[in-house]
Structure 1
Amino acid sequence: MAFMAVLESDLRALSAEARRRYPAVKDGAEHAILKVRTVKLSVIGLSCLQKLIAHDAVAPSALKEILSTLKTHAEMADESVQLKTLQTILIIFQSRLHPENEANMAQALHICLRLLENNRSSDSVRNTAAATIRQAVALIFDHVVHVESLPVGKFGSGGHISRSSSVTGDVNRSINNSDMNRSWEHEIVSRGQSLMRETLTNAGKLGLRLLEDLTALAAGGSAIWLHVNSLQRIFALDILEFILSNYVVIFKVLVPYEQVLRHQICSLLMTSLRTNAELEGEAGEPSFRRLVLRSVAHIIRLYSASLITECEVFLSMLVKVTSLDLPLWHRILVLEILRVISTVVVVAYLYPYHGFCVEARTLRTLFQNFDMHPKNTNVVEGMVKALARVVSNVQVQETSEESLAAVAGMFSSKAKGNCVLEETKLIPTVPFSSAIYYGNVIMDNKEFKVFLMIIAIPTGVLYVGILVSFSCIEWILDNDASNAAVLVASEAHAITVAVEGLLGVIFTVATLTDEAVDLDSPRYEYDPVERYNGKTTVLCIAMVDSLWLTILDALSLILSRSQGEAIVLEILKGYQAFTQACGVLHAVEPLNSFLASLCKFTINFPNEAEKRSAVPSPGSKRSEALVEQRDSIVLTQKNVQALRTLFNVAHRLHNVLGPSWVLVLETLAALDRTIHSPHATTQEVSMPVPKLTRESSGQYSDFSILSSLNSQVSKSSLKLFESSAMMHISAVKSLLSALCQLSHQCMLGTSSGVGLAVSQKIGSITFSVERIISILVNNLHRVEPLWDHVVGHFLELADNPNQHLRNMALDALDQSICAVLGSEQFQDYVSSRLQDISHEMEAGDSQLKLLECSVISPLRVLYSSTQSIDVRAGSLKILLHVLERHGEKLYYSWLNILEMLRSVADASEKDLVTLGFQNLRVIMNDGLTSIPADCLQVCVDVTGAYSAQKTELNISLTAIGLLWTTTDFIVKGLLHGPTEGKETG
């Protein structure tokens, strides 16, 4: 317009100068002024026309004439007129003049396409034309949805997707979003073909013609209806990708659209996905490959239920690409499809599409349609193996340590919510092209922020890497691909994508498992013997059986090689989620394998290389450094994190662990020994991210880690065994059985020797016995079904040749018997018996009799079943403690006690006779009132036996005196029968 204004001014000056002498020149100049002013008038006229259309002041019948006028103006070379023309066309699509016939629709779109592809158009005109076409397509398909009376907002993935700080958050958000669409999806599935329609309205036909032409243009052909011979394939494919992701319901309900999708669009994408030949032109450009993969992702995520064969082909091709010798950027693009939400950090609005590893509904559908179908390919298993293969390759990469450090940095930044480090200076060792640079980047005609990550490598070199998903790919392409910094950043990006993909699968399985049992995660309060047989449960079990080994191998590898706190915690969350799912589903082998792997990370035994390079930490004593390296035990903060996860699993799966308790208990016993071992040290590891707690020196001391572990084990272990009071009774039995099994395993080989191995075994037995007592004490309210488990093991332990173990068993038996007799439950039984409540007497007496006899009888069994003097003496000491503390509560077990003491009187060992008589004196002096009347005769007989024994004269004389005491008690009972009888009854 500025040029036109200057030209008009010059023509006016010429006309004024030639007005008198050269009238012909004057007339020519004025005629030219009129032509020049036509551009300005056109702009004004188009503005007026826009206002009229926007206010519905134009009749629909005038649309054909308006489009003809706009076509003429679009051919004008003036930029302002072209821009006004594009604005007017967009307003037409937004108004009541929206084209309703093929001719008008094709002409309106043709005008925009002509301006887009015209080489003489300016950049602003081409950009505006592209934006106008995108908006026009959206308006056209919105109109189709409205006219065809289709549900609004169903299935479309539109909108901007933000990236959460963890894979768990992505899965939860995915589930919430998919729940909103589930009802309509269920309706389509349940009603099947009855909901789909063959016939189309006029608007539907127009949309179909547009879709067919866009597909042809994306394939490199010509658009017959739009009268366009060629169009940038990238632009056409971008429009198709937008339609696929935002108008799913059209393809779900309208059969003609579904046919175009199946036969034309899928064929286009399959051809474009091929990698076995050199692709020329646009098809070989990264931006085109990216769009192809995004479109494939939409089809798999949104249409897998109806396009089963096509999705199988797509998934097989994607999995194959990950193992081919292709550029790293290409493989990363595919990994982006196979993992969780596409963006690693920010700029989620740049490429708003989902990967489908965290799409629980999608993954479920894929597994049902393919892996569970014997005639189809195991595509989900293939996806997981592809992701695991990327993680496993870290073992053979020359830059593996640098890449792992970068991966740890990525996870750390994401966990903190920070995607950019404070460092802003460009490192000159990494060349940047003029198109991509630190700060801003122009992509798809839009400006976005690009963030760099500064990676500190142990060698002291600084590397630069981009953390913006596909921007990373663009950056790599514009730089020297052999550069070490680019290689490290790319490898780290690939590993991060793969790890997050595996974690996404894990959390999806866990979420589906929660749904299968219809319980709220993470607590599982139900009968452990109950098994679930629903369809979702069968699906989850099949998924676990198919995927667990691959996932475990990959995660255990990356966990063993990683030191960053954020990545370790994220992987351990995956361990916990998958282990809990296996427990709920009663998948024993995967459960035990994940538990065993998790237990391994609670304690480290250094390999030979680590031993040779080990450096004592500042907190280590000099004497400890002299210990043989084969005896050394290395502890790190990873142990604390793994231990916390192990306790979480044990708490949440206490009702279903069953025999798997042994794995947990073996680990706790080993840690208990390790923490108190003089050989325990800590491993100094340089880490690129902050640890849990750091000293001012930036390193851990032995004391801090050992103290932390000791606190973790003590508090969590105490809480775990205290919580047994709330477990199902069968779960408590399983826990006791596991403790007994652990103790029994260690009992072998402890009869002789005093070496380190024997000491460790005795330590494990001590751990087991202490925990058995703890469980018993916390379950006194239901001790009856547990008592035989406890006492049986103690009796077995008391028969061990090792003196230390025998003493341990006797102490444990003493504590257990006294704990039961001193419990509130036992006291309640005694109180009910003394109160003589008639209607409860029979049941109460039966329970009390069984409990009391089962608690006391092990002492007689212990005494009579062994020839060991110290064990027999121990059983008598326990009986003495019982009589002194709880003798007045006993009633039904006196016969067993007296018969046991009667057998002691015949013993030849003086110490045993002395202990037996001490028990008898307590009974005769303090317990006669508690003894039933029918046992008094037995009591007199036992006392007579001690008076007749010849081992100790003083005992015989004292026993005679006790007989006089008994006589006095009986006489008083005869004189005051009713009162005393009631007291003793």
Structure 2
Amino acid sequence: MAFVSAVTGDDSTKKFMEVLQSDFKTLSLETKKKYPQIREACDEAIEKLSLASNNPQASLYGVVNQILYPLVQGCESKDLKIIKFCLGTIQRLIAQQGIDAKGARHVVDCLFNLGQAGVLELKLLQTAALLMTTSDLVHGDTLARTMVMCMRMVSPSESRDVSTSHAAAATVRQLVALVFERALAEADGTLKVNPADIRPQTNNKAPKDLKPCAVDAYLILQDIIQLVNGDSAHWLVGISDVPKTFGLELLDTVLTDFSPVFFKIAEFRFLLKEHVCALIIRLFSPNVKYRAAFTSLHIPGAGAGLATSAGSAAPERPHFPVTMRLLRLVSVIVHKYHAVLVVTECEIFLSLTIKFLDPDKPMWQRALALEVLHKMTIQPNLLKAFCECYDMKPHATNIFQDIVNALGAMCELVRAST
């Protein structure tokens, strides 16, 4: 925290404090008539900054938290012009690393309240991203509130346009990636969090042996799984659902970009094996059930066991965007985690993917499956692993042979139709 630790005699710090004094003078004039309490707080902030500037040995550390007060008050004023100005000054403080852990909590609380009111959402997203990317002060419940504020903006509403929802989705992806980057750096020993910056968490369901950054990453991953599964979040209090496709994309980002976290930390391997893989298998269910219905309705001579009775509900149709992202996850897991972590689960995934090539499947499912299998079959080492783990083992599924047979049948089908 460069400016916090600097003394006010430093030239760059002096310039920064002059800019702050100018900001507070402007805010004082804006609030003079309508919000006298904010004007008084601004005048006090100007006085504190002036005293600190005149004392070459004074540190900015003790001043910044005190001058946050009028900015937070301004954000509570419900005056959009004042709120926008105060957020701009808060962003300036954050960019200069002039906020400590306590100040960060005040800022997040302020952003969270504004988010609930639906005020200046793009500005709130910018401020949250800036706070997270310029320091490592936001952890635990404060991080959870930041994530909740951003995730609530992902879904479009009557008062929220699509561009804001897209910006919110991009911000959430950025924050999730940042949390996992910290967990990886912590596991490598290149990042250590000050214990004084961490407060006890109210909804901490993470294993006790995890370090602070790993706890944050674990709780986020756990809640993403919960939300994609249609359940309420444990840690991200206030989030009951997210678009399924968005949740699957977050899982894709984590599994693709942060595989070392899963290899280095046992608790993450447990989440992958017991929860992520189980979620994928469950979400594949509509594709399997729809296959049975499709067979009975469109294939002459289909077995009676596959037919749905007149009184039973029609199977849920597979959803293309969800299926596409599920197969992408399958591809990532097979490529990155097959040999070490989830051999049994990968056998199930591969068998399901191969069945997508059956002639009674919709063409789009076959096209998606072909794309996934193509990525696998062009890797000799992966094919060798399939033979060693499955085809050459007694009582195991002949995955390699099934892939060859399925691709051969697909080629024959294409040839016959041309």
Which amino acid in structure 2 is aligned with residue 221 of structure 1?
Answer: D
Matched, 1:111 2:149: yes
Q: 1:214 aligns with which of 215, 220, 224?
A: 224
1:364 Cα deviation after fit: 2.3
Alignment partner, residue 230 of structure 1: 241
Q: 1:364 aligns with which of 381, 384, 387?
A: 384
Distance 1:383 1:212 in 2: 33
What does 1:298-697 align with in structure 2 at a 5 Å threshold?
298-305=332-339, 306-339=341-374, 355-397=375-417, 400=418
2:105–2:138 CA contact under 8 A, matched in 1: no
1:362 Cα deviation after fit: 2.2
Distance 2:208 2:391 in 1: 32
Judging changes above 3 Å, is the alpha-carbon distance between structure 1 residues 230 and 208 closer, same or farther for their aligned structure 2 residues?
A: same
1:93–1:140 CA contact under 8 A, matched in 2: no
What does 1:191-206 align with in structure 2 at a 5 Å threshold?
199-206=209-216
1:150–1:250 CA contact under 8 A, matched in 2: no
1:304 Cα deviation after fit: 0.8
Q: Can you list the C-alpha shifts for 1:629-688, whole angstroms capped at 9, x where unaligned?
A: xxxxxxxxxxxxxxxxxxxxxxxxxxxxxxxxxxxxxxxxxxxxxxxxxxxxxxxxxxxx
Q: Can you list the C-alpha shifts for 1:132-153, whole angstroms capped at 9, x where unaligned?
A: 001111111011100111899x
Which amino acid in structure 2 is aligned with residue 71 of structure 1?
Answer: F
Alignment partner, residue 258 of structure 2: 247
1:276 Cα deviation after fit: 3.0
1:151–1:249 CA contact under 8 A, matched in 2: no
Q: Which has the higher contact order (CA 8 A, sep 6+)?
A: 2
1:384 Cα deviation after fit: 1.8
Question: Is the partner of 1:57 in helix, strand or coil?
Answer: coil
Q: 2:279 aligns with which of 268, 275, 284?
A: 268
In structure 1, the gaps of 5 or more residues are 1-34, 153-196, 340-354, 401-985
Question: Is the partner of 1:58 in helix, strand or coil?
Answer: coil
Judging changes above 3 Å, is the alpha-carbon distance between structure 1 residues 226 and 319 closer, same or farther for their aligned structure 2 residues?
A: same
Distance 2:359 2:333 in 1: 23
Q: Can you list the C-alpha shifts for 1:73-108, whole angstroms capped at 9, x where unaligned?
A: 213344xx21111101111111224422x2111101
Distance 1:133 1:303 in 2: 25
Q: Can you list the C-alpha shifts for 1:694-743, whole angstroms capped at 9, x where unaligned?
A: xxxxxxxxxxxxxxxxxxxxxxxxxxxxxxxxxxxxxxxxxxxxxxxxxx
Which amino acid in structure 1 is aligned with residue 353 of structure 2?
Answer: L
1:116–1:130 CA contact under 8 A, matched in 2: yes
Q: Can you list the C-alpha shifts for 1:149-196, whole angstroms capped at 9, x where unaligned?
A: 1899xxxxxxxxxxxxxxxxxxxxxxxxxxxxxxxxxxxxxxxxxxxx
1:386 Cα deviation after fit: 1.2
1:116 Cα deviation after fit: 2.0
Alignment partner, residue 177 of structure 2: 138
What does 1:885-900 align with in structure 2 at a 5 Å threshold?
none
Question: Is the partner of 2:188 in helix, strand or coil?
Answer: coil
Distance 1:198 1:67 in 2: 26
Distance 2:142 2:258 in 1: 23
Which amino acid in structure 1 is aligned with residue 338 of structure 2?
Answer: S
Distance 1:118 1:284 in 2: 24
Question: Is the partner of 1:136 in helix, strand or coil?
Answer: helix
Q: 1:45 aligns with which of 86, 89, 93?
A: 86
1:53–1:95 CA contact under 8 A, matched in 2: yes
Distance 1:263 1:151 in 2: 29
Q: 1:74 aligns with which of 112, 115, 129?
A: 115
Q: 2:133 aligns with which of 90, 94, 106?
A: 94
Question: Is the partner of 1:75 in helix, strand or coil?
Answer: helix
1:319–1:386 CA contact under 8 A, matched in 2: yes
Distance 1:241 1:232 in 2: 14
Q: 2:329 aligns with which of 272, 280, 295?
A: 295
1:263 Cα deviation after fit: 0.8
Which amino acid in structure 2 is aligned with residue 307 of structure 1?
Answer: V
Alignment partner, residue 743 of structure 1: none
Alignment partner, residue 124 of structure 1: 163
Distance 2:263 2:363 in 1: 36
Alignment partner, residue 64 of structure 1: 105
Question: Is the partner of 2:102 in helix, strand or coil?
Answer: helix
Distance 1:92 1:302 in 2: 32
Q: Normalization by structure 2: what TM-score?
A: 0.68
Alignment partner, residue 777 of structure 1: none
Which amino acid in structure 2 is aligned with residue 231 of structure 1?
Answer: V
Distance 1:277 1:141 in 2: 36
1:141–1:207 CA contact under 8 A, matched in 2: yes
1:395 Cα deviation after fit: 3.8
Judging changes above 3 Å, is the alpha-carbon distance between structure 1 residues 145 and 302 closer, same or farther for their aligned structure 2 residues?
A: same
Q: 2:96 aligns with which of 42, 55, 62?
A: 55
Distance 1:92 1:380 in 2: 49
Judging changes above 3 Å, is the alpha-carbon distance between structure 1 residues 77 and 265 closer, same or farther for their aligned structure 2 residues?
A: closer
Which amino acid in structure 1 is aligned with residue 88 of structure 2?
Answer: S
Which amino acid in structure 2 is aligned with residue 132 of structure 1?
Answer: T
Alignment partner, residue 171 of structure 1: none
Judging changes above 3 Å, is the alpha-carbon distance between structure 1 residues 304 and 236 closer, same or farther for their aligned structure 2 residues?
A: same
Distance 2:189 2:208 in 1: 14
Q: Can you list the C-alpha shifts for 1:849-885, whole angstroms capped at 9, x where unaligned?
A: xxxxxxxxxxxxxxxxxxxxxxxxxxxxxxxxxxxxx
1:215–1:265 CA contact under 8 A, matched in 2: yes
Alignment partner, residue 734 of structure 1: none
Distance 2:362 2:290 in 1: 13
1:54–1:91 CA contact under 8 A, matched in 2: yes
What does 1:746-895 align with in structure 2 at a 5 Å threshold?
none
Structure number with bigger Rg: 1
Alignment partner, residue 173 of structure 1: none
Which amino acid in structure 1 is aligned with residue 185 of structure 2?
Answer: H
1:282–1:288 CA contact under 8 A, matched in 2: no
Q: Please, what is the CA RMSD of the aligned residues? A: 2.5
Q: 1:277 aligns with which of 278, 289, 308?
A: 289
Q: Percent identity?
A: 25
1:198–1:255 CA contact under 8 A, matched in 2: no
Which amino acid in structure 2 is aligned with residue 211 of structure 1?
Answer: L
Distance 2:189 2:356 in 1: 38
Question: Is the partner of 1:99 in helix, strand or coil?
Answer: coil
Distance 1:386 1:221 in 2: 36
In structure 2, the gaps of 5 or more residues are 1-75, 192-206, 292-313
Which amino acid in structure 1 is aligned with residue 214 of structure 2?
Answer: G
1:218–1:236 CA contact under 8 A, matched in 2: yes
2:289–2:316 CA contact under 8 A, matched in 1: no
2:105–2:142 CA contact under 8 A, matched in 1: yes
Judging changes above 3 Å, is the alpha-carbon distance between structure 1 residues 324 and 198 closer, same or farther for their aligned structure 2 residues?
A: farther
1:361 Cα deviation after fit: 2.7
Distance 1:110 1:283 in 2: 31
1:64 Cα deviation after fit: 1.4
Question: Is the partner of 1:140 in helix, strand or coil?
Answer: helix
Judging changes above 3 Å, is the alpha-carbon distance between structure 1 residues 282 and 126 closer, same or farther for their aligned structure 2 residues?
A: farther
Q: Normalization by structure 1: what TM-score?
A: 0.29
Q: 1:147 aligns with which of 186, 189, 198?
A: 186
Question: Is the partner of 1:148 in helix, strand or coil?
Answer: helix
Which amino acid in structure 1 is aligned with residue 354 of structure 2?
Answer: V
Judging changes above 3 Å, is the alpha-carbon distance between structure 1 residues 37 and 320 closer, same or farther for their aligned structure 2 residues?
A: closer
What does 1:737-748 align with in structure 2 at a 5 Å threshold?
none
